[in-house]
Amino acid sequence: MGINSQCYLPNDIQANDIIEAIAFLCGAKRIKMELSGGGFAASHDFDEVCDTPGKENKNHKIYVRPTHNIQYFTIEIAPTTCDGGHHTGDLFLYPQDAEGHPGRYCLYAGVSDFWKKIDRALVDMFGGEIDDNDCDSIDIDYKRRKPRKTNTPSDGEAWNEFQTAMLNLPKLFDFVK
């Protein structure tokens, strides 16, 4: 077993929003889609990013690989995507912990500058905490409260604020064209 980072995110996030946030952080094209009922939604280029497990093709730069467990999947970032490295992270949804506290997502990835940047930006966006090294004596290296009441608003001003925050995520890397 190697050293890994663990990024814990609140359970009120939709998994596809985590994938989309990672895609934006990696430099994926951002699309502001106008909605027929008013408002807008942040989206990515579906030719670059596949957020549906098992539906990826060779052209996708970021995709989700399904596993045998519905509460767990692997995020794959192809070597041609942003920094030349092949990056893999496992995303788990824990329904609740041993003490019965509400569940949360855990993005479990290797220790690298790449994942450290991604983890910090995700926690800044959604709230949560990070253990940069699961083999040291420090359990929480970085922590941030949720910046909004919910990470899954359904309409109104809360929806628009969340979508704007998604579109305004920093671009940490540039997609390789």
Amino acid at 152: T
**Percent of the chain at pLDDT above 90?**
25
pLDDT of residue 80: 63
Q: Which of 15-19, 87-91, 139-143 has the highest mean predicted lDDT (pLDDT)? A: 139-143
pTM, to two decimals: 0.86
Given a cut of 70, whether residue 66 has pLDDT beyond it is no
More confident residue, 173 or 97: 173
For residues 111 and 109, what is the distance between their CA atoms, to the nearest angstrom? 7
Lowest mean pLDDT among 1-5, 34-38, 65-69, 108-112: 65-69
Q: What six digits make up the tokens of 78?
A: 């192809």
127-156 pLDDT tens trace: 999 998 888 888 899 999 999 999 999 888
